[in-house]
């Protein structure tokens, strides 16, 4: 799809948002308006920001391994207005920056595209108006600027930002565009959780680098089916990452910013993982888990208490063994390096000094009102998100992403809370695909498969706008043994914006659609799937 197309879409939508009808909008008029800078997405004089940031996307070079520097794309930011604390960097990282906002703040961000291609940035997890949500229809050309304005409505939590460019999200993120948004609020502050050097942002990604240390985005056709998997784990953009810590509690703010890789986080000495928060902020009570599954775009707030450990010892955060997120034959096709579900280290904590002033883990963190049945508008008729899987097309409800292709079930009345059911929709995937696979020489692979179900894989499904609650997760497939390797690692309490749906699972969520009308995306956060069209819009009206 040409970017010109999006330019005019953007203009039309801006007109619609302003209360015009599309019939009034002739393309030339709209293009003229575009150059007049009067569209949504340009600074509005009535909006009085308390924090104003200029955010550049640009090519750069960073030292990831010894030898040649690696060419990346990166964000760089300048604080135009607001408290110094609003802009921080991830220590020694080309990723980032960290934007630190407090609930209720009004924020304006000027995104400057200094890349050689179109881009737009999305604030993942933030509940903002459509015009500031980074929908692909707002992508700007090289040299272009997009202005976002929003009030921070989210409760305390760690969100993040990344490009959301049509069919180029995966490559732009892969090249290095990802940053963090911390929202703080008074309730969180009153808990006295570890702050400053005791609060560690950890962005986990997998990458492949060639002999000259340049990023390789390989994998071909298999990459489209299963997603990209690199053979090297980077934390905060660095290889072999380690942190020196004291003998006291730390707060680890973990994001999986990988394109497709799913991790099973665990401590290498078998200690349980204590989780205090997820995507949408703190849990009501800390949860103690043997391990935690972390799919792309999911966040974890981990309470890591190193007190009582001996100086000079170390603790490794690893990904433990699991199966069942990819079809059995996939691993062979993807190659043997760092297989999905194998055990590997993610980073090392070195206990470097004794410190005794740590805070205690609060027994109760916050209160979360569970969404009740009576609040749900469509109790007996959930909105379907059918994951349609076929070898060369990953879709939703059998349809690929298309601009302004809103289906009846995708129209959501403003101010309602909707029950949504996410499931593997084998029926729509089956039609007409078998012949195509045979044509691609994949016939033998299908031998012995019991229908398309065997092609099933796990998908991290993300919904824009407000966070949701997970009501119920049901497992109904046959590979119970594979599921057992993950089962204890799901955290379904709290507020979420991304949920991993493994093969054979059906997940029921409840999501409020309040405050803003317009188009809000929902999609698979396996970025290769997203770019392939496993994405749709809800129209809140």
* Interacting residues toward ligand C2O by CB under 6 A: 122, 124, 162, 164, 297, 462, 464, 521, 523, 525
Binding status of residue 124 toward Cu ion by CB under 5 A: yes
Which entry of ligand C2O, Cu ion, none binds 433, CB below 5 to 8 A by partner kind? none
In the complex, least distance from residue 481 CB atom to ligand C2O, rounded to whole angstroms: 32
Smallest distance, ligand C2O to C-beta of residue 203, A: 13
Residues belonging to the chain: 541
Residue with tokens 């070898």: 391
* Phi/psi-derived region of residue 335, left when phi > 0, alpha when psi is between -120 and 50, beta in every other case: left
- Whole-Å CA distances, 349 to 200, 244, 258, 265, 279: 11, 6, 21, 14, 24
* Residue 101 and residue 152 in contact, taking contact as beta carbons nearer than 8 Å: yes
Residue 523 interacting partner from Cu ion, ligand C2O, none (CB closer than 5 to 8 Å by kind) = ligand C2O
- Which segments within 133-280 are labelled E, that is strand? 145-151, 157-163, 179-184, 199-207, 232-235, 238-239, 242-246, 249-256, 263-267, 273-278
Partner interacting with residue 459 (select from Cu ion, ligand C2O, none; CB below 5-8 Å by kind): Cu ion
Cite the DSSP H helix spans in 459-526: 480-484
Report the residue number, 25 or 255, with the smaller CB distance to ligand C2O: 255
Of 137, 129, 168, the closest CA to residue 464 belongs to 129
- Nearer of residues 122 and 251 to ligand C2O, judged by Cβ: 122
For ligand C2O, the closer of residues 110 and 525 by Cβ is 525
Q: Closer CB to Cu ion, residue 222 or residue 248? A: 222
Q: Any contact of residue 299 with Cu ion (CB under 5 A)?
A: no
Angle, alpha carbons 201-273-456 (nearest 5°): 90
Rounded-to-integer distance, Cα 317 and Cα 320, Å: 9
- The option from Cu ion, ligand C2O, none interacting with 297 (CB < 5 to 8 A, set by class) reads ligand C2O
Question: How many residues lie near Cu ion (CB under 5 A)?
Answer: 6
Q: Which does 162 bind (CB under 5 to 8 A by kind): Cu ion, ligand C2O, none?
A: ligand C2O
Q: Are 324 and 157 in contact (CB under 8 A)?
A: no
User: For ligand C2O, which is the closer residue by CB, 127 or 464?
Assistant: 464
Picking from 157, 183, 197, 179, the residue whose alpha carbon sits closest to that of residue 100 is 183
Nearer to ligand C2O, 301 or 530 (CB): 530
To Cu ion, the closest distance from the beta carbon of 89 in angstroms equals 23
The binding track of 461-490 with respect to Cu ion, each residue x by CB under 5 A or -, is ---x--------------------------
HEC readout, 126-168: CCCCHHHCCCHHHCECCCCEEEEEEECCCCCEEEEEEECCCCC
Q: How far is the CB of 521 from ligand C2O (least distance, A)?
A: 5
Q: Pick one of Cu ion, ligand C2O, none as the site partner of residue 164 (Cβ within 5 to 8 A by kind).
A: ligand C2O
Q: Quote the least distance from Cβ 531 to ligand C2O, whole Å.
A: 11
- Residues numbered 503-532 forming contacts with Cu ion, rule: CB under 5 A: 524, 526, 529
Does position 496 interact with Cu ion (CB under 5 A)? The reply is no
Most distant CA atoms of the chain, gap in Å = 72
Of 149 and 497, nearer to ligand C2O (C-beta) is 497
Strand-strand pairing, 199-207 and 249-256: parallel
Q: Quick one: 426 or 464, whose CB is closer to Cu ion?
A: 464
Nearest approach, Cβ of residue 300 and ligand C2O (Å): 16
Reduced DSSP (H G I as helix, E B as strand, rest coil) percent helix, strand, coil of the chain, to 5: 20, 40, 45
Tokens of 313: 């010892």
- Report the interface residues with Cu ion, using CB under 5 A: 124, 459, 464, 524, 526, 529
């Amino acid at each position: 799809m040409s970017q010109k197309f999006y330019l005019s879409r953007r203009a039309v939508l801006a007109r619609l948002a302003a209360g015009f009808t599309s019939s009034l909008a002739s393309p030339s008029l709209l293009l003229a308006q575009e150059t007049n800078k009067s569209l949504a997405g340009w600074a509005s004089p009535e909006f009085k920001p308390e924090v104003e940031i200029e955010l550049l996307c640009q090519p750069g070079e960073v030292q990831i391994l010894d030898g040649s520097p690696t060419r990346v794309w990166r964000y760089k930011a300048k604080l135009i207005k607001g408290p110094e604390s609003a802009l921080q960097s991830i220590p020694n990282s080309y990723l980032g920056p960290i934007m630190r906002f407090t609930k209720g703040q009004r924020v304006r961000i000027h995104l400057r595209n200094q890349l050689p291609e179109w881009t737009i940035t999305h604030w993942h997890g933030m509940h903002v108006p459509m015009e500031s949500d980074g929908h692909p229809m707002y992508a700007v050309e090289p040299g272009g600027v997009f202005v976002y304005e929003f009030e921070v409505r989210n409760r305390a939590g760690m969100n993040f930002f990344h490009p959301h460019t049509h069919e180029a999200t995966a490559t732009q993120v892969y090249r290095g565009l990802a940053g963090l948004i911390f929202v703080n609020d008074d309730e969180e502050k009153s808990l006295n959780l570890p702050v400053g050097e005791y609060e560690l942002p950890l962005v986990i990604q997998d990458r492949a680098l060639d002999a000259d240390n340049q990023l390789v985005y390989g994998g071909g056709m298999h990459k489209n089916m299963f997603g990209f998997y690199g053979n090297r784990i980077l934390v905060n953009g660095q290889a072999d990452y380690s942190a020196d810590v004291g003998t006291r509690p730390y707060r680890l703010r973990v994001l999986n910013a990988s394109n497709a890789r799913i991790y099973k986080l665990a401590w290498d000495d078998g200690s349980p993982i204590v989780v205090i928060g997820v995507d949408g902020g703190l849990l009501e009570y800390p949860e103690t888990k043997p391990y935690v599954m972390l799919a792309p775009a999911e966040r974890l707030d981990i309470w890591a208490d190193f007190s009582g450990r001996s100086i000079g010892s170390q603790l490794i955060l690893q990904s433990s063994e699991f199966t069942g997120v990819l079809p059995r034959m996939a691993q062979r096709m993807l190659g043997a390096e760092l297989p999905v579900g194998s055990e590997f280290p993610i980073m090392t904590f070195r206990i470097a000094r004794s410190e005794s002033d740590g805070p205690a883990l609060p027994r109760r963190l916050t209160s979360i009102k569970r969404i009740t049945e009576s609040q749900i508008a469509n109790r007996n008729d959930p909105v379907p998100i059918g994951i349609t899987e076929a070898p060369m097309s990953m879709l939703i409800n059998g349809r690929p992403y298309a601009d302004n292709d809103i289906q009846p079930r995708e129209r959501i009345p403003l101010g309602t809370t909707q029950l949504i059911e996410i499931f593997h929709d084998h029926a729509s995937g089956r039609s007409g695909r078998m012949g195509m696979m045979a044509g691609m020489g994949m016939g033998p692979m299908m031998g012995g498969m019991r229908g398309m179900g065997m092609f099933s894989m796990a998908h991290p499904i993300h919904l824009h706008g407000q966070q949701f609650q997970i009501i119920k997760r049901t497992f109904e497939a046959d590979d119970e043994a594979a599921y057992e390797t993950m089962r204890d690692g799901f955290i379904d309490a709290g507020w979420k914006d991304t949920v991993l749906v493994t093969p054979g699972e059906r997940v029921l969520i409840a999501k409020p659609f309040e405050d803003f009308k317009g188009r809000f995306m929902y999609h698979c956060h396996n970025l290769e799937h997203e770019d392939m069209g496993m994405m749709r819009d809800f129209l809140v009206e």
